[in-house]
Chains A and B, each alone.
Chain A
Amino acid sequence: MAVRTRAYEADAAAAAALDTRLAGIGTWLFLAADLFFFVAWWFAFFYLRALNNHQDWKAQGIGPPSKGYGAIVLVLALATAITYFLGSRQATMAFLFRLLTPVALVLGIATCLFQGYEMWHLGFGLTEGGYPSVFSGLSGAWVIQFALATAWLASIVTQTGPAGDTIVRRQPAASFAWILLYLAAIGLVNYFLLYVVA
């Protein structure tokens, strides 16, 4: 039996609807998995903080880096996510989408650069107790994910040509907004824990 049909459905509209559905399901499943990843880090935060072994959660003279600097990173991350979200609600051919997506990309790159700079200038060594360990691990894991998301965002921008993937398959591009929003929300929680609660 020769089966040559490439698409799941011969009907293009049905295939597009299926694409939308799968992109949505896949996104939410990924977010669920990734949430558990960060929950493990938050658990480490609360566990080590509550245990405070040898009073070494935060040794003498160890404290959070500049709250203001952390806030800048957070605002940039939120701005990236919100900008892309607003753009992605538009049709992918619309002017607003083409304007806001590159802006989101620039903001995303700035977020990664600022967070990276902060991590090179923490003001404490990684070996100096529980808090420095959790700070470096949690912030590092977050910024790596944000960097990967930004790289994907770049690919969305480069695929906005007439036959580009962003245009041909617009729903995955729209679903991606939820991943950026989620990462920004994780950044918000991290900020609250690492700069306020700690």
Chain B
Amino acid sequence: MVVSERRLSLPNNPITGIVLAIPGYFAGVWLGTLFGLDDDQNTGIILGYLFATAAFLIGIGFLNYPLERLFGWQVTPVTDPAENTGIGRFFRLSLDHKVIGIQYLVTILIMLLFGGIGAMLIRTSLLVPDSTITPPGNYISLIGLHAVMMIFITSAVIVGPFGNYLVPLMIGARRMAFPRLEALSFWVVPPAAVILAAATFWGGFPTGWTGYPPLSVQAGQGMDSYIVGFALIAVALVTSGINMLATIIGLRAPGMTWTRLPMFVWGIFTTSILGLLAAPVLAAALIMLAMDRTVNTSFFLASNGGSNYLWENLFWFFGHPEVYIFILPAFGIIMEIVPHFARKPLWGYRTGVVGLFGVALLSWFVWQHHLFVSGIAPVLRPFYMLSTELISIPTGIIFLVVLGTLWRARVWFTVPMLFCMGFLFNFLIGGISGVYLSDVPTDVTLHGSYFSMAHFHYTIMGGEIFALMAAAYYWLPKMTGKMLSPTIGRIHFWWMFIAFNSTFFPLFIVGLLNMPRRVAAYNPDLVGLNRWVTISAYFLFGSMLVFAGNLIYSWFFVARPAVANPWHARSLEWQVPTPVPAANFDRVPVIVAGPYEYGIPNARPVADLGGIVGATGGG
């Protein structure tokens, strides 16, 4: 059989994708209506979303490779990054990890804006205690949309932009292991966001992000958006996990031993393991839920042989590792950045890695603490209480590593470092409040209250988003070639830090005063605290606008070019020129030293780069 030189000639770009997605959606709806077993359109809507997503991906160009293979045509080789230039590359299928990183960054920032607006609407509703601003039904839908959107975002906000852009640079690789998978992990995110937002046209979904049956089985068509949107995120987590792990395992440069791997890469490595293994469980649970809603199976309906506890177990088997999917890369960022600005070696490198793996491992054994108040067998409670408390040990180890690095250091308080300090402060409060929630007696009292809500916002926003900001100020100069204004950055930090604590700390108090979460109306005695929180939340949103203003000001008005290594850091990504060359390195570098050997006399440069660019020594 002779391989043909023919090519698929469809113009591949997002416009083609959208043009194909619209008829794709209606084809799915038509098929669903034709074969659906019920009259509430769920089958049609789910098929419509799936067909639209598939059609969008075809328009982007994802079917070219499998079809060219199947037809026996010559397979299109991986695009040469050097030929992939110009602004247009950010708007089409690219197999360059740097382009995908930027695509992720912009997409996630736009999604973050919408998620933030949702939060502002929620807080605005709570200005009054009697749900007059937002009716209860709309309020719970708003909560659900905000929550799922933010779960989408926080799953990808570090791994997507920074993981994709930086991991190959940090390990001395010239590309990712599976560039098509990497691109797929990004291109399913926009359809997922649009499908989730489409829930508003169907009246939203009343379950929050947890989707508990039987409500999720009985809910309106907005629930179908939840199912398909979340399933697409599961696809993104699995494909991203395979690509990241294979890259880190298989493409490390010579000399990049496991003990020289940067901590940020370890954070990505451990979180990728969790995403790879947890997301398929969610996918299976979502398929079961879709079947219950469309072909009337009984996975989750107790009246017909099913059980809602089946969902709760499957969901939280994914859901609790999921929260560590958020935080492990954040730990990696903090342990990566702190030694660079403390100008000291990372204190307890191996201990820190053990801490990351300890958190990752234990995260599989804690999910039933989410079921303490929903009827878990009492005999199981002590085990899950203890396993949850145990997870504070590896987390504490990570804190110890960071504090040990800071001990007696002459810290360079740059903007990234300020955000690292903010992370430590916030996450400490989030972590300690989590210990209370892991204990059965306090959890039974506080689980449904704002205490729990304050806890996870301290860990996710106070932790992960502060780490994200540290990463942004630290690595964006390398990624964009432009320095961000440090003055505006400092204003941003202090504004965000104060507004964040002013917003979320009082929520511990309103939680202790029994204000229930997910409910639009509350005790009028708490109106003063709630108004304080709402006004603080507006300020917090304002701090994000300061960040956006810094980006616009620094990129378009001042445009101060970034030098190759503005922080005088040792790690490998700073040893390549800015902007980063198309293939990263002229040749595969040879790593000869670790990335944190600051202050060590006669420390060798981190790598032999073939004399193209100079590596920074210790100092």
Number of cross-chain contacts by CB at 8 Å: 179
Known: A47-B307, A53-B302. 15 other contacts (CB 8 A): A2-B82, A3-B82, A6-B80, A29-B246, A36-B280, A40-B280, A40-B285, A53-B306, A54-B305, A56-B305, A129-B298, A130-B305, A137-B297, A160-B1, A164-B1
Chain B residues near A54 (CB-CB < 8 A): 302-305
| Stretch from B114-122, B171-179, B513-521, B591-599 forming part of the interface with A | B171-179
Is B242 among interface residues, defined by CB-CB distance under 8 A? yes
Give the size of the chain B interface in residues (CB under 8 angstroms): 65
B43 to chain A minimum Cβ distance, whole angstroms, is 13
Write the residues of chain A forming the contact surface with B, with a CB cutoff of 8 angstroms: 1-6, 8-10, 18, 21-22, 25-26, 29-30, 32-34, 36-41, 43-44, 47-48, 51-54, 56-57, 59, 126-127, 129-134, 136-137, 141, 151-152, 154-155, 158-165
Is B11 among interface residues, defined by CB-CB distance under 8 A? no
| Stretch from B65-73, B155-163, B428-436 forming part of the interface with A | B65-73
Is B2 among interface residues, defined by CB-CB distance under 8 A? yes
B588 to A43, Cβ gap below 8 A? no
B177 to A133, Cβ gap below 8 A? no
With contacts A155-B70, A161-B3 known, is A37 near B177, CB below 8 A?
Answer: no
With contacts A29-B246, A32-B276, A44-B310 known, is A158 near B296, CB below 8 A?
Answer: no
* Chain B 261-289 residues near chain A, CB threshold 8 A: 276-281, 283-285, 287-288
Cα–Cα distance between A8 and B587 once the two chains are bound (Å): 9
| Stretch from B219-227, B533-541, B578-586 forming part of the interface with A | B578-586
Which of A8, A26, A38, A137 makes the CB contact (< 8 A) with B299? A137
Is B526 among interface residues, defined by CB-CB distance under 8 A? no
B311 to chain A minimum Cβ distance, whole angstroms, is 10
* Chain A residue with the shortest CB-CB distance to B247: A22
A13 to chain B minimum Cβ distance, whole angstroms, is 15
Chain A residues near B279 (CB-CB < 8 A): 33
Cα–Cα distance between A51 and B299 once the two chains are bound (Å): 12
B278 to A129, Cβ gap below 8 A? no
A155 to B307, Cβ gap below 8 A? no
Cα–Cα distance between A33 and B238 once the two chains are bound (Å): 7
A26 to B69, Cβ gap below 8 A? no
Is B549 among interface residues, defined by CB-CB distance under 8 A? no
With contacts A26-B177, A53-B307, A137-B297 known, is A34 near B280, CB below 8 A?
Answer: yes
Which of B1, B245, B314, B612 makes the CB contact (< 8 A) with A29? B245
B250 to A18, Cβ gap below 8 A? yes
Chain B residues near A151 (CB-CB < 8 A): 66, 70
Which interface residue of B72, B78, B588 has the most chain A CB atoms within 10 A? B72
